[in-house]
Amino acid sequence: VSTTPDAGTLVNGSTKPNGHILPTISEQIQIINDDKNFTPDLSAQLERWGLRDAGFNYNVVAVFGSQSTGKSTLLNRLFGTTFDVMDETKRQQTTKGIWMCRGKGMSVLVMDVEGTDGRERGEDQDFERKSALFSLASSEVLIINLWEHQVGLYQGANMGLLKTVFEVNLGLFGKKAQDGPQSRTLLLFVIRDHIGVTPLSNLQTTLTADLTRIWDSLSKPPALAQAQLSDYFDLAFTALPHKILESQKFEDEVAKLRERFMDKTLDNFVFKDIYHKRIPADGVAVYMENIWQQVQSNKDLDLPTQQELLAQFRCDEISSGALIEFNEQAKSQKRPIEAGKVVQGLGELMRNWRDQALARYDRDASRYHNGVYTRKRLDLYATITSTLSPLFLGQLKNLHKACLSTFKATLQNLLSPSGGGTNFADVVGEAKTECEESFVKVAQEACIEDKDWSWEEELSLLKEEVENVADVFRKDETKKMINLIERNFKKQISEPVELALNSGTLDMWDKVLEMFKKLLDKAESSYLTKAKTFNCTEEENTNSLAIIRRRAWQALRAKIDEQTTDAVILSKLRVHFEERFRYDDQGVPRVWKPDDDIDGAFKKAKDQTLALIPLYANIEPQDSSLEYTLPPAPPSSTPEEEIDFSSSLTIFSETKCMDLSTRFRRDADAYYVEAKRSTVSSIAQ
Ligand code: GDP
Ligand code: MG
């Protein structure tokens, strides 16, 4: 592990639970180790480097070249990195693998690829191939580092390495040049220990010729037979003086080269947009790991597929992330709604939560493969909608309940004696409109999904229930009205019946029935007038009228019963008899004299009075046109209590008549005896 002079930026490494030590911020991380395993820590390290949220605003560069050609030294100078450099005194090889650092003060991921030239050591060309694949799939710029004296040595190790790079590139980008990820890569040749005898331009010519030769010698698939090196690579060349012999010039040239990595305004700025591999920074770790896994298992490395897989993985992650806060927000209204509350402005709340979640998703996920991003966005939207749906449905249910009870309360209020609602139908109509309008207003506000959500069904349920409630109220009101009519009827029938029955005249039933019909007509028409304002149905009217008629008849009968109890009827008979027996035709009280025809007068008065009993016994007018028949109750009516109308016309049965006659006779006999006695006593005087 290296140390670095700028201790100010050095952050102490922290120990992870698994015993690994995470490198500090300025340290290198070995992303691929000697055993060709990929580090599990890259993601965390990118986060520590502060690059996770960089989007596309970062660059990747890798260096290739033979062992001990000063690669790490160069990188450390160019990017302020801390790669291990071979210790001069020990001449110890640095560890094989791929190392990564963040460029100091730059959003650059720098990869130091060690041990690529297996050929030189006669070993492991496998790693060379794999690291070439890996680097090409992820880097914008490959620095090819070589000694000046290696230039032109076609058989040299570098040329073998380049051949590998080209082959691998054809496999990676060749067939997918159009639709795949950006396939252009810059090969930056850095010629070390340039003595200056041979100008750079000559070296450049030689190298270009060599590269073209290599390219031409590749066996390409038929479709790519005409492909040119320049279709895939840009070439750039630079030379550096000898580090030890011309150390100051070396440092100056390195500083100039460094500028080309930093200053966007330079014509020869290295990190041109066209080289960017378009992997969002927050997906780089996963992407690189996947690439390596693919390379490692010797599977065909299909970059479009890799990008799509990465996009799926990352979009899923981003989506779950976006849902966390959303779920919290949605939960906040779950309780109130389950408790039956109508949440004011629920639609706006839900729309905000949804928009925020989608915005969180879009911010990070929109950088990924468009098809995947769009598909996962639809999934996210569906999840959001299905989370919100119960809230919406709950709100509708609660709203329905609230509107219905408001409707009831409004009716109750308006119909109460002080409510001022005069016309029932108007009152109900207004309350209904109000109820529906307030339902629609709140329901519409909450309905933020016009494709799958709707409130119309709930509204029609509400309308049905409102109708039912209105019906109950109307029936109630109708009942009250009928009762009132009945009370009035009773009040009005009472006296005329009493008078008629007291009279005992032959036409007393005519009078009673006449009066009954008159009052019943009045009752019926008063009902019909009122019923119009109730919007009562035809059937309800028929039933109500039947009830009114029956009750009227019952009221009449009750009055008659009251007037024909034993005591009352006997007293009526007595009064009648007395009027005939004890008073003369002029209404003057009789004083019996011995030769008066007491027996005759007695018999006459008694017979006349007895004749009244059958008159009272049946409700039977003289004028048969006045006869009344209670119409039969309509079949739909609820039989409150059945009336046997025809038997209700009978007041006294025959037995009863005989009983009354007997009892009256006894009373009359008493008068007779009293009359006889009065004559005896007058004689005695
Ligand atoms: P790497 O194996 O390619 O990463 O090489 P290193 O950076 O570890 O350097 C290998 C050795 O070369 C070290 O002893 C360096 O001091 C030395 N070195 C670095 N740069 C140069 C250079 O430009 N010229 C010469 N002659 N030696 C260099
Ligand atoms: Mg090195």
Which of 63, 86, 88, 144 has most ligand 1 atoms within 8 Å of CB, for mutation? 86
Distance 307 CA to ligand 2 centre (A): 30
Note whether 94 and 72 are within 8 A (CB).
yes
Distance 511 CA to ligand 1 centre (A): 139
Q: Say what the pLDDT of residue 23 is.
A: 53
Q: Say what the pLDDT of residue 19 is.
A: 46
Note whether 426 and 400 are within 8 A (CB).
no
- List, chain by chain if needed, residues with CB within 6 Å of any ligand 1 atom: 67-73, 85-86, 88, 94, 192-193, 242-244
Distance 243 CA to ligand 1 centre (A): 8
Q: Say what the pLDDT of residue 120 is.
A: 52
Which ligand approaches the C-alpha of residue 64 most closely? 1
Q: Say what the pLDDT of residue 683 is.
A: 64
> How far is the C-alpha of 433 from the C-alpha of 536, rounded, in Å?
19
Q: Say what the pLDDT of residue 184 is.
A: 87
> How far is the C-alpha of 333 from the C-alpha of 350, rounded, in Å?
10
pLDDT-above-90 percentage for the chain: 61
Q: Say what the pLDDT of residue 13 is.
A: 44
Note whether 189 and 144 are within 8 A (CB).
yes
Which ligand approaches the C-alpha of residue 67 most closely? 1
Shortest-distance atom of ligand 1 to CA 112: 4
CA nearest ligand 1 atom 1, residue: 68
CA nearest ligand 1 atom 25, residue: 243
Distance 26 CA to ligand 2 centre (A): 17
* Residue 298, phi-psi category: left (phi > 0), alpha (psi -120 to 50), beta (remainder): left
In the numeric block, the tokens 């007509």 are attached to: 521
Alpha-carbon dihedral angle through residues 168, 113, 259, 208, given to the nearest 10 degrees = -40
| Burial class for 573, CB neighbours closer than 10 Å (0-12, 13-18, 19+) | buried
Shortest-distance atom of ligand 1 to CA 192: 23
Note whether 311 and 368 are within 8 A (CB).
yes
Note whether 556 and 513 are within 8 A (CB).
no
Which of 28, 68, 83 has most ligand 1 atoms within 8 Å of CB, for mutation? 68
CA nearest ligand 1 atom 20, residue: 70
Half-sphere exposure of residue 645: CA atoms within 13 angstroms, side-chain side: 12
The 8-class DSSP code of residue 583 comes to B
Which of 28, 63, 67, 69 has most ligand 1 atoms within 8 Å of CB, for mutation? 69
SS3 per-residue string spanning 11-29: CCCCECCCCCECCCCCCCE
Of residues 4, 34, 27, the one with CA closest to residue 114: 34
Q: Cα dist. 607→503, 598, 603 in Å? A: 17, 14, 6
Give pLDDT tens digits for 450-500: 888 999 999 999 999 999 999 898 888 888 889 999 999 999 999 999 999
CA nearest ligand 1 atom 14, residue: 88
| 233 vs 182: which has the higher pLDDT | 233
366-369's contacts with Cβ under 8 Å and 24+ in sequence apart are: 367/55, 367/56, 367/278, 367/280, 368/280, 368/283, 368/307, 368/310, 368/311, 368/314, 368/315, 369/307, 369/308, 369/310, 369/311
Note whether 254 and 78 are within 8 A (CB).
yes
Q: Say what the pLDDT of residue 2 is.
A: 40
pLDDT over threshold 90, residue 225: no
Distance 74 CA to ligand 1 centre (A): 8
Distance 241 CA to ligand 1 centre (A): 13
How many residues can be counted in the chain?
685
Half-sphere exposure of residue 289: CA atoms within 13 angstroms, side-chain side: 14
pLDDT over threshold 70, residue 37: yes
> How far is the C-alpha of 421 from the C-alpha of 413, rounded, in Å?
8
Shortest-distance atom of ligand 1 to CA 85: 8
Distance 206 CA to ligand 1 centre (A): 24
> How far is the C-alpha of 25 from the C-alpha of 27, rounded, in Å?
6
Shortest-distance atom of ligand 1 to CA 94: 2
How would DSSP label each residue in 79-126? H--------TTTTPPPPPEEEEEEPTTS-EEEEEEES--HHHHT--HH
Note whether 101 and 49 are within 8 A (CB).
no
CA nearest ligand 1 atom 12, residue: 70
> How far is the C-alpha of 242 from the C-alpha of 413, rounded, in Å?
102
Which ligand approaches the C-alpha of residue 244 most closely? 1
Shortest-distance atom of ligand 1 to CA 65: 3
Note whether 170 and 254 are within 8 A (CB).
no
pLDDT over threshold 90, residue 442: yes
| Burial class for 474, CB neighbours closer than 10 Å (0-12, 13-18, 19+) | buried
CA nearest ligand 1 atom 6, residue: 70
Give pLDDT tens digits for 495-538: 999 999 998 899 999 999 999 999 999 999 999 988 888 878 88
Q: Say what the pLDDT of residue 419 is.
A: 63
Of residues 649, 652, 651, 650, the one with CA closest to residue 629: 649
The arithmetic mean of pLDDT across residues 605-611, rounded, is 93
Give pLDDT tens digits for 380-403: 999 999 999 999 999 999 999 999
Distance 69 CA to ligand 1 centre (A): 5
Kindly report the number of other CB atoms within 10 A of residue 649's CB atom: 17
The arithmetic mean of pLDDT across residues 425-454, rounded, is 92
pLDDT over threshold 60, residue 81: yes
Distance 118 CA to ligand 2 centre (A): 15
Distance 33 CA to ligand 1 centre (A): 22
Sequence letter at residue 536 = C
Which ligand approaches the C-alpha of residue 71 most closely? 1
Of residues 99, 158, 86, the one with CA closest to residue 134: 99
> How far is the C-alpha of 178 from the C-alpha of 70, rounded, in Å?
37
CA nearest ligand 1 atom 18, residue: 70
pLDDT bracket for residue 7 (50, 70, 90) = very low
SS3 per-residue string spanning 210-275: HHHHHHHHCCCCHHHCCCCHHHCEEEEEEECCCCCCCHHHHHHHHHHHHHHHHCCCCCCCCCCHHH
Which of 82, 85, 111, 117 has most ligand 1 atoms within 8 Å of CB, for mutation? 85
Note whether 87 and 36 are within 8 A (CB).
no
Give pLDDT tens digits for 97-153: 899 999 999 999 999 998 665 555 555 678 888 888 899 889 999 999 999 988 877
Distance 82 CA to ligand 2 centre (A): 10
Handedness of CA 289, 293, 296, 298 (dihedral sign): negative
Q: Give residue 482's Cα distance to chain centre.
A: 49
Give pLDDT tens digits for 614-626: 999 999 999 999 9
Distance 84 CA to ligand 2 centre (A): 6
β pairing state of 59-65 and 108-114: parallel
pLDDT bracket for residue 11 (50, 70, 90) = very low
Give pLDDT tens digits for 339-394: 999 999 999 999 999 999 999 999 999 999 999 999 999 999 999 999 999 999 99
The 8-class DSSP code of residue 618 comes to B
CA nearest ligand 1 atom 24, residue: 243
pLDDT over threshold 80, residue 605: yes
Note whether 52 and 131 are within 8 A (CB).
no
CA nearest ligand 1 atom 10, residue: 68
CA nearest ligand 1 atom 17, residue: 70
CA nearest ligand 1 atom 16, residue: 88
Shortest-distance atom of ligand 1 to CA 76: 7
Q: Which two tokens stand for residue 572?
A: 């009526």
Which ligand approaches the C-alpha of residue 95 most closely? 2
| 86 vs 680: which has the higher pLDDT | 86
